[in-house]
Amino acid sequence: MPTTTPATILLVLIATICAALAHLLWGRRWQQLPIFWLAAFVGVLLVYGFGLSLPLNLPHPAGVPVLESTLAAWILLTVASRLRV
């Protein structure tokens, strides 16, 4: 049975929360929710995968830079919302 690491759970949680908030702000149809979630998850994965971090002394729970991941998710969510999908 595969185990889920705390980093994976945190990444999915950040992406889900950001996508849900973006859908509340900009969403018009339910079909946009998976697109928003995918955009947020790609943003979170880019930061985590490349190990991007701001030069601040912020905690990184489970090795996940939360602030940077959230910022990247919102940048890609803004792009996704402007595509008018």
Q: Which helix (H) or strand (E) holds 73?
A: helix 66-82
Please tell me the total number of residues recorded for the chain in this structure.
85
The confidence band for 2, taking pLDDT boundaries of 50, 70 and 90, is confident
For range 29-49, the mean pLDDT: 95
Q: Is the pTM of this model over 0.85?
A: yes
pLDDT at 83: 84
Q: Go through 41-79 and write b for each residue having 16 or more CB atoms within 10 A of its CB, e for each that does not.
A: bbbbebbbeeeeeeeeeeeeeeebbbebbbbbbbebbee
Domain ranges within the chain, ordered by starting residue: 6-54+64-82
Q: Binning pLDDT at 50, 70 and 90, where does residue 4 land?
A: confident
What mean pLDDT do residues 21-36 have? 93
Q: Report the candidate in 34, 33, 58 with the shortest Cα–Cα distance to residue 47.
A: 58
The pLDDT score that the predictor gives to residue 61 is 94
Residue 25 has phi, psi (to 5 degrees) of: -80, -45
Q: pLDDT tens-digit profile of 47-81?
A: 999 998 989 989 899 999 999 999 999 999 999 99
